[in-house]
Structure 1
């Protein structure tokens, strides 16, 4: 979930968009990870609560694609299955996920279109199934920030009840 000013979010780059900075991150993990690390190197990409995969951050996209292809070819020649390889281009989606890597709730803030945006990484099932997609599917919900009795800021938003084919999911 991304919370931000509508004008700023008009500049949002999704998973299928080009990275504005021309960079990507390369990750690899799995049963053959240690063998791949001994051969190819990379860094351990730590995330909150886990060691994270091995890989490289902030690599030009062409170089990232070439490294991933080399890892995949090595895997296919020597091991078959047992190594997963991923190239994540620096779209706003990836940038906000990366901003939340070290937060226990996977929350991070980035600048989008000159405005601060807050990203909350929900489980993929919550996002894709429960909310029926993204902004392109018309799934925009207003958010308000209000002061509570103690003067602290409280964020509130309303998401309509979940329905399957026009029926309430609990009462079919």
Structure 2
């Protein structure tokens, strides 16, 4: 199995503070105290650091976690990843972001450890701390009044003949679910009801129907559906943010259990010539093959 570096695109940080955080929890920081940007700015005053709950104790399992670092506010930050061919395809083993700032460490260039993060099964978000205060997550309301309807399963072709829709593209050009995108929310809900009525009259079983409101989380996932690393980008509060999805099979085999099972990986500042990199290093093989319990916090 080989490793290689690939460019993922750029993020921007108008506030000068970059956050790498667990996507499933980004919008939940205010429920437990200060907004994400306030915590991140405090950490940056110390050169960067690990954000978690409780703030004055060890990281709580199945909870908000992120790392915040200073970054250039006046230019895009290049993001790249080293990948490895895992169980179902390529996955990230090293994530790097060029912060476009001078090296803050000592003359020996030793890495500066900021903390460690688990791989959230809902993916990771990389972006400006202040912009992420406006992030609408998993269970939030539609940001534009629109939603997507998708359906797949045993009777998908029959349903498509009756209700139409397009075939969604996925990684490798594979055909994904049928669906209709960008519908007004009330139309999306009505279409889902019509599909359920059609199934009941059959009677038919084996068709899955999903209605996804246009949250920032959903739009990021949608943007990355056809990317080999499930990486997508959107604009949020005039900044570019990025979502790194995770292959379900790889997560189940290598990261399942997350912090509760010590599946956490170091985040460091690294010297690269005269500039500084943020680096998150994830091993290619699980150190503990023992079967782990299913995490209670799951993606919809």
Q: Same fold (TM over 0.5)?
A: yes
Question: Quick one: structure 1 residues 158 and 48, their matched pair in 2 at CA, closer, same or farther if it must change by over 3 Å?
Answer: closer
Q: What residue is the counterpart of 1:52 in the other structure?
A: 176
Higher strand share: 2
**Post-superposition shift, 1:38?**
1.1
TM-score (ref. length: structure 1): 0.75
Distance (whole Å) between structure 2 residues aligned to residue 68 and residue 47 of structure 1? 22
Q: Which has the larger radius of gyration?
A: 2
Question: Quick one: structure 1 residues 152 and 57, their matched pair in 2 at CA, closer, same or farther if it must change by over 3 Å?
Answer: farther
Higher helix share: 1
1:62 equivalent to 2:186? Answer yes
Question: Quick one: structure 1 residues 7 and 78, their matched pair in 2 at CA, closer, same or farther if it must change by over 3 Å?
Answer: same
Length, aligned pairs only: 154
Cα pair 1:10 1:113 within 8 Å, conserved? no
Q: What residue is the counterpart of 1:82 in the other structure?
A: 206
SS in 1 for 2:196: helix
Which consecutive segments of 4 or more residues in structure 1 shift more than 3 A?
Answer: 123-129, 141-144, 146-149, 151-155
**Post-superposition shift, 1:72?**
1.1
Long gaps (5+) in structure 1: 133-140, 160-168
RMSD: 3.1
Long gaps (5+) in structure 2: 1-123, 261-265, 283-287, 291-300
- Counterpart of 1:107 (choices 223, 231, 235) is 231
Distance (whole Å) between structure 2 residues aligned to residue 83 and residue 153 of structure 1? 50
C-alpha distance after superposition, 1:47-67 (max 9, x if no partner): 222201111010011100100
TM-score (ref. length: structure 2): 0.45
